[in-house]
Amino acid sequence: MPSWVRGLLVHLALVAIALALGSGAGSFVHSSNGVAVWWPAVAVCVLALLAVPRRWYGWAVLSVAVWMFVANYLAGRTAAVAFGYGIANAVEAVIVARLLTRGRRRARLAQLRDMSLVLVASLAGAAAAAVIVGVTASMAGARFVEIAPTVLTSHASALLVIIPLGIAGTRSGVAVATWHRVVQVVLLVVVLALVVGPGKDLPITFLPMPMLIWAGFLFSTRFVAAELALVAIVVATATAQGEGPFSRITDPVASTISAQFFIVVYATTVLAFAVARDERVAVTMRLAKRDQVLRGGLIDAQVGLVVLEQVGPRDLRVVEANVRAAEMLAGEVVVTTDDAVDATDEAERRHLGLDESSPFVRAVLATLDSPLGEWFDEIDVAGFRRAEVFLTRVERSSGPAIVTAQLIDVTQRHLADAAMRRALADERDAAARLRDLGRQKDDFLSAVSHELRTPITSIVGYTELLVDDTDVDDEQRRYLDVVERNARRLGVLVEDLLELGASAGRHDAVTPAVTALDEVVRHTVEEHVPQASARGVRLVVGERTGLSAHVVRDDLTRILTNLVSNAVKFTPPDGTVTIGVEADGDAVVLRVSDTGPGIAPDELERVFERFYRSTTAEERQVPGVGLGLALVRNLVERNGGTIWLESDGEHGTDASVRLPRARASRT
């Protein structure tokens, strides 16, 4: 089954559950004031939004609003009130769902920071719903100050309990028998009956907590969330029916809010505990795998590795050593399968002999005597073989010092020196050939671009002649407009290629001069007014500053033209592009800001690469080949300036160019 079909079916099933919960919410409504103690329908709506792809969010939100209107209407509310409540539920679901998926593909509850995000999202969504519901209820004659706090707590508690059922993990890392789960659930039900059962009004609401902590130790976070949902349902139902310890509070609103706070505190505490357990288990498993990999690497490494522990001023024992080290040291180090660190029998702890005629022993003793605790040299090992030895002494605050040794067989190194020199010479020749090929590539690119410039100019010129001096009908004029527009785009691309190729190796040919920024900004904006008007984008220019920059005027024009053109292309209709200039010490800063979709933070540097296209440009099919910003950076740096972009990936982009300031010419 395709994923989108599965998501649609899950969404429909969840909104059906939300409809049933919302229309049958009478069991959660306090008998004395009609206020809902708990509102789980909205949490199910959040899960319904999370089930569909993001491209379907609009339809999914509309679906939630409609069905929540129906649910509230079936629950006995007037059409106007049901409409307001339906809007409140839809807005709340959107806020929570978007916050849970912000910066990630799907919502999850696997770490403590995920739990913090669930808490923040639940409070934000519940606050929005509280305001909308409070306003709607006040228009119907109720008091805002009585409705809003109750809605805030009832919705927040429902979100905190229900959402983890859909996004929490299903594994605990602990093998638990099925009967254990059954016994734990039965005991929890018994405890709930003692706390909130009919006629029970003793203040012993703390009793379910040990049962839930028990579950948090052994079972998955989703299982714990299910038990929390059970607790919430029982407490909300009992309080609404006037049973349990919270019913002892005479004020109905205070009784309702107290029950909701009970659910919120239990949910945050127990879920945080379960998530922390999951995180700890995950970290433990990663560390175990890393330890296994490291031990495997130590044993199978081609480098000889030895770890020694100092047991006396001139006495050491081997803690770890791989087979390669044993072969190279020829009996001076004995490899054992026993865990030398944890062994209790001193005889099983292999000692390093103190025969100072052994080069390796002398090297270890030199490391012990070294002020820096390091030693490096080549020694003879295993007869006529030779090895490089790296020794390091590590002092420990508790326990004896550790000496680590790395041995690398370099017997063939001297024989390989000549081959290495030949390889190095060949590499130099290859590098020279590659540089020559690079120059040839740049020359070819420049030559082809020059050759393309003339025919493109002819195409544009003759197209304009056909449009201006011949009698063409509307359809032919559209064809000619397409030819002219694409020829000009190709011309701009050729000019960019020429400029990039030229600036890569240019060291002269341009001389910066004092350039008035206000004039360049005004001319550039005038050139882009038709393009911006056609797209419905407003161009806003800051106040005249009289500032000047020490820069090549043509370079500055191309820099500003590219930045403004990019901003206009990425700004939606009714958006705004703002161009401003300001002083910054010995420099001036030129800023171009837009109200477009922005650039993802991890792409802000990559967009300056040649031919790189941002994700936003690809998704919105904005025309271009990815040369504009690469050209802009080359031009800015050639004039002694810097350029940077700022964006959060959602609310527009700010492009800033810092250039040397020409103080003498300031008016």
Question: What number is the average pLDDT over the span 473-484?
Answer: 76
Inform me whether the pLDDT recorded for 644 exceeds 80.
yes
Using the Cα atoms of residue 544, residue 550, residue 551 and residue 553 in order, give the sign of their dihedral.
positive
**Residue indicated by tokens 């407490």:** 235
pLDDT of residue 298: 65
CATH fold, domain 418-505, is Helix Hairpins (1.10.287)
Q: Give the whole-angstrom CA distance, residue 569 versus residue 460.
A: 23
Inform me whether the pLDDT recorded for 667 exceeds 50.
no
User: CB count, 10 Å around CB of 316?
Assistant: 25
Q: Give the whole-angstrom CA distance, residue 513 versus residue 463.
A: 37
Question: What number is the average pLDDT over the span 482-498?
Answer: 68
pLDDT of residue 352: 56
> What does the pLDDT look like over 390-399, one tens digit per residue?
889 888 777 7
Inform me whether the pLDDT recorded for 342 exceeds 50.
no
> What does the pLDDT look like over 208-228, one tens digit per residue?
888 888 888 888 888 888 888
pLDDT of residue 349: 44
> What does the pLDDT look like over 42-59, one tens digit per residue?
888 888 888 888 778 788
Of all residues in the chain, the percent with pLDDT exceeding 70 is 81
pLDDT of residue 664: 52
pLDDT of residue 592: 92
Taking each helix axis from N to C terminus, what angle separates 144-167 and 252-300, rounded to the nearest 10 degrees? 30
pLDDT of residue 32: 46
Inform me whether the pLDDT recorded for 519 exceeds 80.
yes
Q: Give the whole-angstrom CA distance, residue 593 versus residue 193.
A: 62
Q: What's 513-665's CATH class?
A: alpha beta
pLDDT of residue 353: 54
pLDDT of residue 659: 92
Model confidence at 33, in pLDDT bands (50, 70, 90)? Answer: very low
Instruction: Look at 444 and 217; give whichever has higher pLDDT.
Output: 217
pLDDT of residue 496: 66
Q: Are 304 and 325 in contact (CB under 8 A)?
A: yes
pLDDT of residue 335: 46
pLDDT of residue 128: 92
Q: Which residues contact 146 (CB under 8 A, 6 or more apart)?
A: 35, 253
Highest mean pLDDT among 151-165, 253-267, 441-455: 151-165
Q: Are 329 and 407 in contact (CB under 8 A)?
A: yes
Q: In angstroms, what CA-CA distances link 227 with 224, 231, 257?
A: 5, 6, 21
> What does the pLDDT look like over 48-96, one tens digit per residue?
888 888 778 788 888 888 888 888 888 778 888 889 888 988 998 899 9
Inform me whether the pLDDT recorded for 314 exceeds 50.
yes
List, by residue range, all CATH 1.10.287.130 domains of the chain.
418-505
List, by residue range, all CATH 3.30.565.10 domains of the chain.
513-665
CATH fold, domain 301-411, is Beta-Lactamase (3.30.450)
Q: Tell how strand 385-394 and strand 402-409 pair up.
A: antiparallel
Inform me whether the pLDDT recorded for 346 exceeds 50.
no
Question: What number is the average pLDDT over the span 502-517?
Answer: 67
pLDDT of residue 579: 92
Model confidence at 485, in pLDDT bands (50, 70, 90)? Answer: low
The string of DSSP codes covering 426-439 is HHHHHHHHHHHHHH
What's the whole-model pTM score? 0.47
Of all residues in the chain, the percent with pLDDT exceeding 90 is 5
Total residues found in the chain within this entry: 667
Question: What number is the average pLDDT over the span 141-148?
Answer: 81
> What does the pLDDT look like over 231-248, one tens digit per residue?
888 887 777 777 777 777
